[in-house]
Amino acid sequence: MPATKKTKTPENVSRSAMRRQREREYRCQTILAAAESLFAKEGYHKTGMEKIADAAEVSVGAVYFYFKNKEDLLVKMLDDIGYLLRRHLGDAFEKYGATMEGFKQAGYAFFDDFCVDYPDKVAIIFRESVGQGAVVEEKRKAIFDKLTGDVASALHRASEKQGVDFASRFAAEVITVSILGIYERVAYHYIFWKENTSDLKEIGRDAVAFIVGGIQNLFQENKTF
């Protein structure tokens, strides 16, 4: 009796399509992970697409299938890093009820967890993506604009819970810009210039204490934490 040809049902087609989609996503993430490691360790300019393909164990054509060029790859990488960083800090802040304690814990999370657990991502966002052209710079600006908005919102929410007001209409903006600048510079100095991550927890607490002291000075004199 001749074999009956198996008919593809919508369910079979759907499962097949889902499997292919998972494979594509996995391959894309594998390429991103390989590129991130190479960019962080060897530098963005010194890393070619061929080397990325070799590290990801795919063909060069496969890399170009997912990313039109190296810049495109870096932009997607920055999107992922920016999202992870914002989620990391936001979770720490919300865990403590959007208070000043949560604000401090978010700072600790940046130094204790993010910088220590994701050194390659820190290298990408603070070093390798700097000065890489208009498209990349626009992406960096978008990320830091979102971070600025997150910090400003956290400051206002924490101040409301504490029942305090800022001494001037520019205070929150000044604090927000200062926080991002100080945290970035401290991380860069101790991770890349001094190559000292072993003391980053203590260093981070000093940086956070400095920031919190500055916040206190920008509140109305008759109101304190």
pLDDT tens by residue, 115-137: 999 999 999 999 999 989 999 99
Give pairs for 34-41: CB < 8 Å, separation 24+: 35/73, 35/74, 35/77, 36/77, 36/120, 36/121, 36/124, 37/120, 39/74, 39/77, 39/120, 39/123, 39/124, 39/128, 40/119, 40/120, 40/121, 40/123, 40/124, 40/128, 41/120
> pTM value?
0.83
Choice between 23 and 137, residue whose per-residue pLDDT is larger: 137
- The 10s digit of each residue's pLDDT in 43-96 is 999 999 999 999 999 999 999 999 999 999 999 999 999 999 999 999 999 998
Domains and CATH numbers, the chain: 1-67 (1.10.10.60), 69-225 (1.10.357.10)
pLDDT at 225 over 50: no
